[in-house]
Chain A
């Protein structure tokens, strides 16, 4: 019962570096999401996907790209990291768009 798994759990990047965060779910969920969590601001939606091969922008998409080549995986990419992207990133999945979401454990990213 892995649920939603995110890798890596921690990462430190230098400004301008790139990286990819991986999210994998084993619940056969259609919908997947990437959020960022910043102090005092709750979770904000970066991008989401309604199924394999589809992606869409959320509330704060700038500076990020995503891909959903396989139903179980949802990748979040940072092409050129900036200090403003220092945050905790959460991946989530759900069966439909308005049911409960299942979350990964989060990735703490620091950009210096």
Chain B
């Protein structure tokens, strides 16, 4: 079955630490890939997306993600996190039709 795995459910970092959140999916066809973020008390919003082209995509607020097709991965990175990055992060994979599969989410807490 198609699925999206986010490796860490909870991550705690200190400010200025580097971040990498893992996302792997199981689907052999063409995919569109997304990372969404949900700040406390707010709605989900798009961080970045990959449809085609350069596998390294840059999003808002200094986030970037790299699509590695051979590894079925789309990991999210940020070189230096801030307290304001505290949020829940969701990886999502569109596999065709109306099928967008969301990962379970990773809760990030950044200590000031």
Query: Which positions in A face B, CB cutoff 8 Å?
Result: 3-4, 31, 33, 35, 40-45, 48, 50, 56, 58, 90, 92, 97-98, 100-101, 103-106
Contacts and interface: CB of A to CB of B under 8 A. Distances in A.
Contacts of A92: 44
A31 B97 CA distance: 12
Given A103-B43, A106-B43, A42 B98 contact: no
Contacts of A103: 36, 43-45
Most chain B CB within 10 A, of A4, A35, A58, A103, is at A103
Contacts of A41: 104
A40 B9 contact: yes
Nearest to A48: B98
Given A42-B90, A100-B34, A90 B44 contact: yes
B42 A105 contact: yes
A100 B49 contact: yes
A42 B32 contact: no
Interface of B: 4, 9, 32, 34, 36, 41-46, 49, 90, 92, 94, 96-98, 100-105
A89 to B, nearest CB: 12
23 contacts: A31-B98, A35-B102, A40-B9, A40-B104, A42-B101, A42-B102, A42-B103, A43-B92, A43-B102, A44-B102, A45-B98, A45-B100, A48-B98, A90-B43, A97-B94, A97-B98, A100-B46, A100-B49, A101-B44, A101-B100, A103-B36, A103-B43, A106-B43
A43 B6 CA distance: 13
Given A43-B102, A92-B44, A103-B36, 12 more contacts: A31-B98, A33-B98, A35-B102, A42-B4, A42-B103, A45-B100, A90-B43, A97-B94, A98-B32, A100-B46, A100-B49, A105-B43
